[in-house]
Amino acid sequence: MIHRYIAHIQQKTNLSSQEAWWLLEHVLKPTPMPLVTQNELTEAQSQKLEEYIDQIARRHKPLAYVIGWVPFLDLYIEVQPPILIPRPETEEWLNQLIDLLIPKSSQIQRILDIGTGSGVIGLALAQKFPLAQITALDINPAALDLARKNATINNIQNIEFIKSDLFSALKSDQMFDLIVSNPPYIPRSALDGLSASVTLWEDHGALLADQDGLEILGKIIAQSADFLVPNRTLPFQMVLEIDRTQHESVKKIAQLHDWDCAVTQDLFGNWRTAWCNLSTQTSSDHLV
């Protein structure tokens, strides 16, 4: 019987069977009865399901916003429009970074997450490195509210959230061992190529940047050195998520500011992550 509903959802939307299952689970959520033993949806549940199908199929609402949360590494992350839904590409490089940092756990004191959005990057680092203090900033107060809520839900305390336009609200003597960021980097010219579920629902201020998407990345690269502790103790001093078209330009901008960056591809084979050290420090040889 459940399969009838899965087929119905799939016929009306472009959800995979796994996603249709999640939607159905969400509809049944307050019902204690296990999904497999319930043969028919109640009237109220059917109505709710049709409402959600309409939101997804006609209004292009992302499934994550319908369900209201996503898993991210070992975190339960609430999501709400228009704060950016965390992406698997981010989860992938962050997982790689955590693996690289684990042997150095005891040396990590302070990490800065720029453009924290729902909080995922800062929270995952805070969770994995409980002795470190994480500062997570965002220009959007609604994002910070959500990130704070996610910190509470996941019972994470070693993180502070600051409303700031990049580094502007930081004190000049605030220094970090590592700066990470998934900033807005999509070139404005690429807006038309994005799916309706992105352009209609997610904050354009979280996605797009001027100067072919390089404006904010450029500012981070130009200013980060002023906020780093003088002696490198970790494999990298700065890790940035970038657009797949930006690997050459980011490396060039980085060189202009005395950074040495290696760029790696994501699980889809796109250039995605810049792993950087100041050129004055030992060059990065930690990536395979």
Q: Summarize as ranges the residues that interact with ligand SAM (CB under 6 A).
A: 84, 86, 90, 114-118, 120-121, 137-140, 143, 165-166, 182-184, 205-206, 216
How large is the C-alpha radius of gyration of the chain? Answer: 21
How near is the Cβ of 145 to ligand SAM at its closest, in Å? 12
**Structure-token pair, residue 93:** 């490089």
Confirm if 72 and 63 have CB atoms less than 8 A apart: no
DSSP-assigned beta bridge partners for residue 275? 239, 262
How near is the Cβ of 229 to ligand SAM at its closest, in Å? 22
Burial class (CB in 10 A: 0-12, 13-18, 19+), 14: exposed
Residue 231 is which amino acid?
N
Residue 77 is which amino acid?
I
Q: Which residue, 19 or 241, is less far from ligand SAM as judged by CB?
A: 241
How near is the Cβ of 41 to ligand SAM at its closest, in Å? 33
- Collapsing DSSP to helix, strand or coil, 204 comes out as helix
Q: Which residue, 100 or 162, is less far from ligand SAM as judged by CB?
A: 162
Query: 122 phi and psi, to 5 degrees?
Result: -60, -40
Q: Are strands 271-278 and 238-241 parallel, antiparallel or unpaired?
A: antiparallel
How near is the Cβ of 131 to ligand SAM at its closest, in Å? 22
Q: Which residue, 89 or 260, is less far from ligand SAM as judged by CB?
A: 89
Q: Which residue, 139 or 240, is less far from ligand SAM as judged by CB?
A: 139
- Collapsing DSSP to helix, strand or coil, 272 comes out as strand
How near is the Cβ of 168 to ligand SAM at its closest, in Å? 8
How near is the Cβ of 119 to ligand SAM at its closest, in Å? 7
Nearest one of 193, 191, 196, 203 to 60, comparing CA atoms: 196
How near is the Cβ of 85 to ligand SAM at its closest, in Å? 7
Q: Which residue, 102 or 169, is less far from ligand SAM as judged by CB?
A: 169
**237 vs 164: CA distance, rounded Å:** 21
Q: Which residue, 23 or 139, is less far from ligand SAM as judged by CB?
A: 139
Q: Which residue, 53 or 112, is less far from ligand SAM as judged by CB?
A: 112
How near is the Cβ of 86 to ligand SAM at its closest, in Å? 4
Q: Which residue, 132 or 180, is less far from ligand SAM as judged by CB?
A: 180
Please enumerate in sequence order all residues whose Cβ is within 8 A of that of 77, keeping only pairs 6 or more positions apart, or say none. Answer: 69, 70, 71, 86, 118, 119, 120, 123, 150
Positions of E strands within the chain: 69-72, 75-78, 110-114, 133-138, 159-163, 178-181, 186-187, 208-209, 238-241, 259-265, 271-278
